[in-house]
Chains A and B, each alone.
Chain A
Amino acid sequence: MSRFLLVRALTLALGLVVASAIIFAALRLLPGDVAQIIGGTQASPQQIEALRQQLGLDRPLLAQYLDWLFGAATGRLGDSVVTGTPIATEIAQKAQVTVPLTVYSLVIALLVAVPLGVLGAYRRHAPTSRLMSVLGVVAAAVPVVWAGLIGIVVFSTWLGWLPAQGFPRSGWESPLSAIRSLTLPALTIGLIEGAILFRFVKSATLGALGAEHLRTAMAQGRTRLQALIGHGLPGVGLSIVSMLGLQAAALLVGAVVVEQLFALPGLGRMLVSDVGNRDLIKVQSTLFVLTGVILILGALVDVLHRLMDPRLRVEEDQE
């Protein structure tokens, strides 16, 4: 296990370095004069020169990159050129919307996908389960924006149950209205990701139902349901756990679009408006934080999966 942990930690570190290098190269190296881009066409040469000094763009590239990397590791990312506030503070503040939104939609996706997927496989030939499969394929083809717009029409315009847009100004100090404004966005991404996860859970359960150890369990006198619950579902659960990092990443990215749609003050909306404001330094850090979170989640899920799966432990003992 310790060897596995070491290797995984090393690949994670390597991944973070490669990702940061790609982001740095794309945003600082390739576009040419970064100060000119940030300053825009209206800025005078003096202003651009000042900007260049302020941001340290006149220093060697390697020094700029290493500074940024160590700053990111210690949480010091500098100030935004546009707003003047520390970038780390802004990211932490916006994460208070994006993280709950991602968790909320993950819960919805799991609540939809796991029971329906297992049931769909257990009663494979039932008409309802065939209908669910068709719905799942269709839902996976729906663009997130469209689903959200339809959600707004149905649940806020027609039924008036949920707010169409926005987030309470007081934030999480009014938890109920905060949750209310996150519900429709979370449903939007949760249901679409749930449809994709549903197909995965269903095929995993079908695989488990066809496995030989399940047939053995039934031959010993257990019913199909008992065999599935006792001997099939643990394996299905493990497959789902191994997908969690991937799911969380998909939901985090889905949040970028959905935050824009529902006017939620989260990381995705901030990223989009920063691109519009040409705040390249902040975009660079936000992108790295998002990618870093995805890489770290992937590593954590791998470790969790390793801890939970007895088959992998046995394999290691034999090594």
Chain B
Amino acid sequence: MTRSAPPTARGRLIRSPRGLFSLVVLALLLSAALISLVWLPDDPNFSSAYRAWLPPSPEHWLGTDGSGRDLASRLIAGSRVTVLVVLGAAVVSGAIGLVLAVLAGLGPRWVREPLVILIDVLIAFPTLLLAIMLAAAYGSGIPVVVAAVGIGFGVAIGRVVRAELRQLAREDYVLAARAAGLSRWAVLRTHLLPGVAPVFTVQLSLSMGLAILAEAGLSYLGFGAPPSVPSWGRMLAETQAFISVHPAVVLWPGLAITLTVLAFTLLGDALREALDPRLGGERSAAGADAGSGATLGTATGLIAGLPGAPPDGPGVDR
């Protein structure tokens, strides 16, 4: 009996419509940011009273704002801040999450228990408040946004990955590897870390999306990028005063943010399905929905900065 080889995770990701959509959007974002480094339709900071509120034209693709700045250029240039914040948040939160998870999950008792309490407290500390606190102490800027988002989501990732690590550490094959004489570190590297990789990747993808929302909110409040740096959140703040007269202007930055966040959310969903070997590519609609709900708890947790899933998951029977 011949069976076709199961498609690779990458193949499954590209084949799913959600995965393809998100990869296309993220590729667009990245190329916009890269292209903007060498070329832009116009200087995003050039303002002139003679060209205020111009309608879209071949010269100004999306028109101009109240200061006469080219909206398309500002939008494209704004993608740089987004990419910077997303990458920064991913590195910081990934590192914090992984270290916290390993120490609080597998460390000696005197490290583990205080860390678990620390995670519980830090997770109740909303990311937005953390950012405001840092901005109050050190002044506003992109580093503050990256630090706040990285710490906030890092703790949330750490909590989820820790639970997964603890569960894996009790599995028979891990115990067998220990019994066979592998060192703690070798077990961690060869069995545990690859085992939590899918959960970690999915959480990372979700937190990258939420990082964009956090950046937009913080830039809107004035704690993000400085005024000379175009960013999507700041564009929302700049257009606010004129929305009753020029409502169309507010459309573009909002659309850009929503599309990018959506791409990361869907990438998370698609990754979960593509990476989890237990799912084998086939799953019922119920399973898929329940799955997205389970991480969704964490997604909400990331927003609120609070524990992800409720103490007992939905519909758990004891």
Interface residues of A (CB under 8 A from B): 11, 14-15, 18-19, 22-23, 26-27, 30-31, 121, 124-125, 133, 137-138, 140-146, 149-150, 152-153, 156-157, 164, 196-197, 199-200, 202-213, 232, 235-236, 239, 242-243, 245-247, 249-250, 252-253, 256-257, 260-261, 271-272, 274-276, 278, 280, 283, 287, 290-291, 294-295, 298, 302, 305, 311, 315
Contacts and interface: CB of A to CB of B under 8 A. Distances in A.
Given A141-B265, A200-B314, A207-B313, 14 more contacts: A22-B122, A22-B125, A27-B136, A30-B138, A140-B299, A141-B213, A143-B236, A145-B220, A145-B254, A196-B296, A243-B300, A250-B126, A260-B221, A275-B132
A196 to B, nearest CB: 5
Nearest to B219: A145
Chain A facing B: main interface SS:
helix
Nearest to A311: B318
A203 B236 contact: no
Nearest to B266: A137
A145 B216 contact: yes
Given A19-B125, A143-B257, A246-B300, A204 B293 contact: yes
B233 A145 contact: yes
A246 B301 contact: yes
Interface in B73-92: none
A218 B296 CA distance: 30
B300 A212 contact: no
B124 interface: yes
Interface stretch (B27-35, B175-183, B189-197, B303-311): B303-311
B115 to A, nearest CB: 12
B217 to A, nearest CB: 5
Contacts of B257: 142-143, 146
Q: Among the interface residues A145, A235, A242, A315, which one has the most CB atoms of the partner chain B within 10 A?
A: A145
A269 B138 CA distance: 20
B318 A315 contact: yes
A152 B244 CA distance: 8
Q: Among the interface residues B120, B217, B244, which one has the most CB atoms of the partner chain A within 10 A?
A: B217
B132 A149 contact: no
Contacts of A149: 236, 239-240, 243, 250, 254
Given A124-B289, A145-B216, A200-B293, A207 B121 contact: no
How many B residues are at the interface, by size bracket?
35 or more
A160 B124 CA distance: 39
B129 A290 contact: yes
Contacts of A133: 289
Contact of B128 (A19, A203, A256): A256
B124 A295 contact: yes
Contacts of B52: none
Contacts of A19: 121, 124-125
A138 B121 contact: no
Q: Nearest 5 A-B pairs (CB), nearest first?
A: A203-B293, A207-B315, A204-B314, A146-B254, A242-B310
Interface string B222-249: 1100000000010011011001100100
27 contacts: A15-B117, A15-B124, A26-B137, A138-B258, A145-B236, A145-B254, A146-B258, A149-B254, A197-B300, A203-B293, A205-B314, A206-B290, A208-B314, A213-B317, A239-B313, A239-B315, A246-B300, A246-B304, A250-B306, A252-B126, A257-B220, A283-B136, A287-B132, A290-B126, A291-B129, A294-B126, A311-B318
A145 B266 contact: no
B307 A246 contact: yes
Interface of B: 117-118, 120-122, 124-126, 128-129, 132-138, 209, 213, 216-217, 220-223, 233, 236-237, 239-240, 243-244, 247, 250, 253-254, 257-259, 261-262, 265-266, 285-286, 289-290, 292-294, 296-297, 299-301, 303-307, 310-318
A2 to B, nearest CB: 19
Contacts of A22: 121-122, 125
A141 B261 contact: yes
Contacts of B121: 14-15, 18-19, 22, 295
A235 B312 CA distance: 10
A287 B132 CA distance: 9
Contacts of B317: 211-213
Contacts of A144: 213, 217
B237 to A, nearest CB: 8
Contact of B311 (A150, A164, A212, A242): A242
Nearest to A232: B315
B209 to A, nearest CB: 7
B136 A257 contact: no
B265 A280 contact: no
A199 B292 contact: yes
B313 A143 contact: no
B136 A280 contact: yes
B266 A142 contact: no
Contacts of A315: 318
A27 B129 CA distance: 13
Contacts of A14: 117, 121
A143 B137 contact: no
